[in-house]
């Protein structure tokens, strides 16, 4: 099991630790509801240094990114980032990612899921026919997400970069807490506002920045609350809600699938769009008492199987049970009544829009 540069800090703080994607990660510190509320209402910090970062450089870098991702990275100018995915040859999803444009047409950073670093690296390399310079900088890159409505105003005094006015999905690079070349990105996986910061772990930078965050009284948050926060927003989790067998159109990612350019499985996805998808990822909330969980079966009122739950939880901020799941298209409309098979009883739910409210 690998450590992040912060693993010892989490253990010293008494976090409940567990293996995630091969890393020893903090799952929770003070309790999931408490951590969730801190981020939603105030501020919290996540160590997500297990995530993968690839640098792509050179005149063909953009061509390669355009070829392997579904969104249109040619729209990016320096300082902008974009949510995207790698479709596979069958129209499924290899991974979802964020593309950062460091220097237009020249330097890009791809941020991928920890569990898929090797798979993604091999995938992108497979299409790298024009010798784009690629570096896997995952192991030396720290990633901390400081999330919550009070995050940017707390962090602003640590830097000359104007981070309070950073627009969603844009970023700056500069000195932060005395450390050079820190990327501060107005992104995150919580819907609570705030930033993610990327920096190289050299000359004790990890310790310096982490200790500064603790001095500011920013509460550390585990991966368990990260999951409930993202689920309340209806954000997909790779491996749960989207995977090699689900298409971006089925997964509600049509908005990052741009048919104005060439990319993997474009023809398959275009046809799928034309013919209409047969199943769709929907948000639902429980009407009757019960909590949906990954892999629970979804049925219609007559007990016929119509789909499967991909994520589910009791939503800490909402006080109700919510989930995401694939259902046959006939049951995907808002307000459709569906039933979750929970321990052999059919528990009523209804399709609602995400973000959940």
Partner 1 sequence: MNFPANLRYTKDHEWISLEGNTATIGITEFAQSELGDIVYVDINTIGKALNAEEVFGTVEAVKTVSDLFLPVAGTVLEVNPALEKAPELVNNDPYGDGWMVKVEVSNPADVDGLLTSEAYTSLVG
Question: Distance between terminal CA atoms of the chain?
Answer: 38
* Contact call for residue 33 and partner 1 (CB under 8 A): yes
Closer residue to partner 1, CB minimum distance, 241 or 300? 241
* Contact call for residue 47 and partner 1 (CB under 8 A): no
Among residues 84, 144, 88, the alpha carbon closest in space to that of 119 is found at 88
| Residue 335 CB burial class (10 angstroms; 0-12, 13-18, ≥19) | exposed
Closer residue to partner 1, CB minimum distance, 10 or 279? 10
Size of the site for partner 1 (CB under 8 A): 15
Task: Please report which helix (H) or strand (E) contains residue 274, including its range.
Answer: helix 266-275
Closer residue to partner 1, CB minimum distance, 44 or 316? 316
The nearest distance, CB 43 to partner 1, in angstroms, is 20
What does the DSSP assignment read for 207-243? HHHHHHHHHTTPEE--HHHHHHHHHHHT---BTTTB-
| Residue 108 CB burial class (10 angstroms; 0-12, 13-18, ≥19) | buried
* Contact call for residue 136 and partner 1 (CB under 8 A): no
Closer residue to partner 1, CB minimum distance, 96 or 227? 227
* Contact call for residue 228 and partner 1 (CB under 8 A): yes
Which position among 58, 314, 329, 348 is part of the footprint of partner 1 (CB under 8 A)?
Answer: 314
DSSP state of 65: H
Which position among 133, 289, 301, 355 is part of the footprint of partner 1 (CB under 8 A)?
Answer: 289
* Contact call for residue 31 and partner 1 (CB under 8 A): yes
Closer residue to partner 1, CB minimum distance, 49 or 313? 313
- Which residues contribute to the site for partner 1 (CB under 8 A)? 28, 31-33, 224, 227-228, 289-291, 293, 313-314, 316, 343
């Amino acid at each position: 099991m690998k450590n992040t540069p912060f693993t010892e800090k989490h253990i010293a703080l008494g976090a409940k630790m567990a293996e995630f994607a091969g890393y020893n990660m903090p799952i929770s510190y003070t309790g999931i509801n408490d951590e969730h509320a801190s981020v939603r209402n105030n501020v919290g910090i996540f160590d997500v240094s297990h995530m993968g970062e690839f640098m792509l450089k050179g005149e063909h870098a953009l061509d390669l990114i355009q070829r392997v991702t579904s969104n249109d990275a040619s729209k990016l100018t320096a300082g902008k980032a974009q949510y995207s995915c790698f479709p596979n040859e069958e129209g499924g999803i290899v991974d979802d990612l964020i593309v950062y444009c460091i220097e237009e047409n020249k330097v890009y950073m791809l941020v991928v899921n920890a569990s898929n670093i090797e798979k993604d690296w091999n995938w992108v390399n497979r299409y790298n026919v024009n010798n784009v310079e690629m570096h896997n900088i995952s192991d030396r890159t720290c990633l901390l997400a400081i999330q919550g409505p009070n995050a940017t105003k707390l962090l602003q005094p640590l830097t000359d970069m104007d981070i309070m006015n950073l627009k969603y999905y844009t970023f700056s690079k500069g000195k932060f807490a005395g450390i050079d070349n820190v990327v501060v990105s107005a992104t995150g996986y919580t819907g609570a506002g705030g930033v993610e910061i990327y920096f190289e772990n050299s000359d004790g930078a990890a310790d310096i920045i982490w200790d500064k965050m603790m001095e500011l009284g920013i509460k550390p948050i585990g991966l368990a609350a990260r999951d409930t926060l993202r689920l309340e927003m209806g954000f997909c989790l790779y491996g749960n809600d989207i995977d090699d067998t689900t298409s971006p159109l089925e997964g509600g990612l049509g908005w990052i699938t741009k048919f104005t350019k060439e990319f993997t499985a474009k023809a398959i996805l275009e046809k799928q769009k034309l013919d209409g998808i047969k199943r769709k990822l929907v948000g639902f909330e429980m009407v009757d008492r019960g909590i949906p969980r990954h892999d629970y079966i979804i049925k219609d009122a007559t007990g016929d199987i119509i789909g499967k739950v991909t994520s589910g939880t009791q939503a800490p901020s909402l006080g109700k049970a919510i989930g995401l799941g694939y259902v046959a298209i006939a049951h995907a409309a808002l307000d459709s009544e569906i039933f979750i098979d929970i321990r052999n009883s059919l528990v009523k739910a209804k399709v609602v829009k995400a973000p959940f409210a």
